[in-house]
Structure 1
Amino acid sequence: MEKLVRQFYAWRGYIVRGNVRVGALTHGGWAGELDIVAHHPHSGHLIHLEPSIDAHTWEERERRFRRKFEAGRRYVHAEVFPWLDPATPLEQVAILVSATRRELGGGRVIAIDEFMETVREAVIRRGPMCRSAIPEEYDLLRTLQLALCGYRRVLV
């Protein structure tokens, strides 16, 4: 899931960092790891995404995601993208199996199916591969393009 999210944002023109360790501790190790942080240099949009297919309780998720999102707020501007203005707003999103709650740990929640619908729509808009192939570096998106749009004609 993380690879697809990273590829989707990179394909859309974002500078993407994945599995970023932040907050070096004096005794070794790190304060945390951020799954995906992306910045769009033209729009200025800055987003921290934490995809998960866990089966934890909402209470456990609240604890885990609060810790992740707090680390994001603390370290994204300082360590991940230090050249950004510290006042740049940071959107934080958890991508989960279900989204019966819309807020978690200080971030927004979307369901995996919602994210996949966004990806599907963007890939279908691109059309058949023979006319406008998604670059090879985005192998997951390119595979979706072939499955959804075909090589010469739209399949769905």
Structure 2
Amino acid sequence: MSHLESLIVEFYDWRGYLVKRNVKVGKRSAGGWEMELDVVAYHPHTRHLIHIEASLDAHSWDRREQRYVKKFHSGEKFILTDVFTWLEKDTPLVRLAIFPSVPPFRKNFAGANAVSIDAFMADIQAAIIRQGLVSRCAIPEQYPLLRTLQLALNGYLRIGKPSS
């Protein structure tokens, strides 16, 4: 799993989602699996179900689209039957694709909402900044990446004040 996927998993888990990562779906009779999904998350209180695919690749948009159409199609086909089997079959599924950059005309991509890593990180940063100082409201230690960001963004005792 990439560093980016680890951060995505921590962020959604910290926000109360049940998170599955690197989920193999569609067991084949001859062995193997049809697809591996990066991150699938479900929030039990809001009933928000999301399938996230993140990539740091430098492939062409055409090549990415071929791959992501397959990934999101597999997610649609298997998430409710193989991953979160207790959910109602008509549970809406949100799809999110995260790339190094996303031009405005690619915001809807392969049936998903596409965002840049920077835009996704801005959402994470905003949530962490709202959390406040590490000394007063530390993000739990089970989220080392988020906690490190909290320390870097908010500081331990004083927000953004470098020591002299």
Shift of 1:108: 1.1
**Where does structure 1 lack aligned partners over 5 or more consecutive residues?**
none
TM superposition score normalised by structure 2? 0.94
Per-residue CA deviation, residues 105-156 of structure 1 (Å, 9 max, x unaligned), is: 1111011000000000000000110000000000000000000111111117
Q: Which residue of 2 aligns with 1:155?
A: 160
Q: What SS is found at the alignment partner of 1:21?
A: strand
Within the candidate set 94, 97, 100, 2:100 is matched to 97
Query: How many matched pairs?
Result: 156
Per-residue CA deviation, residues 48-88 of structure 1 (Å, 9 max, x unaligned), is: 00010110001001000000000000000001100000101
The aligned amino acid for 2:35 is G
The reply to whether residue 127 of structure 1 matches residue 153 of structure 2 is no
**Where does structure 2 lack aligned partners over 5 or more consecutive residues?**
none
TM superposition score normalised by structure 1? 0.99
Shift of 1:12: 0.2
Within the candidate set 36, 51, 59, 1:33 is matched to 36
**1:104-123 paired onto structure 2 within 5 Å:** 104-123=109-128
Alpha-carbon distance in structure 1 between the residues aligned to 2:29 and 2:17: 32
Q: Which runs of 4+ in 1 moved over 3 A?
A: none
Q: Which residue of 1 aligns with 2:63?
A: 60
Alpha-carbon distance in structure 2 between the residues aligned to 1:80 and 1:88: 13
Alpha-carbon distance in structure 1 between the residues aligned to 2:50 and 2:97: 11
Alpha-carbon distance in structure 2 between the residues aligned to 1:26 and 1:59: 31
CA contact (8 A) 1:38 1:48 kept: yes
Shift of 1:94: 0.3
